[in-house]
Amino acid sequence: MIRFVICQLSISYVLLMCNCRMSGLYIDNGIDQTLVQRFMTRQEKREVENEILNLLGLQNRPRPAANSKTLGSSAPKFLLDVYKSLLDSSVSRTTRSEFNLSGRDLHAIDESDVIMTFTSNNKHVSSVRHERGKRLWFDVSDIPVGETIVDAELRLYKNSNYTMDSGENFTVAVYQLLLENGEKELEFVDAVNTSYSQEGWLIFNMTGPLTSWVTFPQTNKGLYMSV
């Protein structure tokens, strides 16, 4: 089973920077406390790290990007968050997540064999034009046909804007681009309500479109986002 996260970038791509924090085996002492049963050997930590890298579909442990002050894109930041969540003890997993990984997210991660992320590409389709809004396209050709897709979501990071009316709400909607008999069509996928003052990740369910793109690659015309 595979869990997918589709991330829209706001700035340039940088490499993952992961730090292993798990150094022991933890047990519950029965009075709502988690204690270290024993410290892990270097070999055991390496085996745990390799298992997590295999889950994330990575060949080697990511290294910090040279001259990079921050993790500048959504996709690697999500993988880093998942990486840290899997390494952390069960007590702190839900509190350390920058991506607000819920209990449902962590369960899906635990049930997944592979986690993949994709970033948008600027691919132009001449037959699909829109005067307003934003078009997103993702190359998902690396997904094996026949795999069971547990979950797929689009994550967009929204910065706060206090130059506008901070109390004003608006809706961000995502549509799947379709070509029906040569005609352009927009099929509603998901929408999220937000405000100008809100800052954080907007999450859209993309399981349907991704399943369609994997089964019928020629239908992948991308997504259309409007406000």
Whether residue 29 lies inside any domain: the answer is no
pTM exceeding the 0.85 threshold for the entire prediction: no
Whether residue 197 lies inside any domain: the answer is yes
DSSP state of 101: -
Whether residue 32 lies inside any domain: the answer is no
- Give the pairing type, strands 149-158 and 183-195: unpaired
Span 131-189, pLDDT tens digits: 457 888 888 888 877 777 778 888 887 777 766 666 688 898 999 999 887 788 899 99
- Residues 71, 8, single domain; the answer is yes
Percent of the chain scoring above 90 in pLDDT: 8
Structural domain for 166, as ranges = 130-146+156-226
* Euclidean distance between the first and the last CA atom of the chain, given in angstroms as a whole number: 33
Whether residue 31 lies inside any domain: the answer is no
What does residue 52 show for φ and ψ, rounded to 5 degrees? -70, -40
Q: How confident is the model at residue 73 (pLDDT cuts 50, 70, 90)?
A: low
Q: How confident is the model at residue 128 (pLDDT cuts 50, 70, 90)?
A: very low
Residue pair 112/82 in contact (Cβ under 8 Å)? The answer is: no
Residue 4 has pLDDT above 60, yes or no: no
pLDDT at 193: 92
- Residues 196, 100, single domain; the answer is no
Determine how many CB atoms are found less than 10 A away from the CB of residue 113. 13
pLDDT at 74: 57
Q: How far apart are CA 133 and CA 186, in angstroms?
A: 12
- Residues 101, 184, single domain; the answer is no
- Residues 108, 83, single domain; the answer is yes
Dmax of the chain from CA atoms? 65
Whether residue 124 lies inside any domain: the answer is no
- Residues 110, 6, single domain; the answer is yes
- Residues 160, 110, single domain; the answer is no
Residue pair 80/20 in contact (Cβ under 8 Å)? The answer is: no
- The number of domains in the chain is 2
pLDDT at 22: 38
Residue pair 180/33 in contact (Cβ under 8 Å)? The answer is: no
SS3 150: strand
- Residues 184, 207, single domain; the answer is yes
pLDDT at 180: 80
Residue 190 has pLDDT above 80, yes or no: yes
- Residues 139, 221, single domain; the answer is yes
Residue 24 has pLDDT above 60, yes or no: no
Residue 40 has pLDDT above 90, yes or no: no
Whether residue 205 lies inside any domain: the answer is yes
Q: How far apart are CA 185 and CA 179, in angstroms?
A: 6
Span 86-115, pLDDT tens digits: 666 554 544 445 556 666 666 666 666 667
- Residues 110, 67, single domain; the answer is yes
Percent of the chain scoring above 70 in pLDDT: 45
- Give the pairing type, strands 2-7 and 149-158: parallel
- Residues 90, 11, single domain; the answer is yes
Whether residue 30 lies inside any domain: the answer is no
Whether residue 125 lies inside any domain: the answer is no
- Residues 53, 76, single domain; the answer is yes
- Residues 76, 172, single domain; the answer is no
Q: How far apart are CA 45 and CA 18, in angstroms?
A: 14
Q: How confident is the model at residue 9 (pLDDT cuts 50, 70, 90)?
A: very low
Q: What is the mean pLDDT of the chain?
A: 67
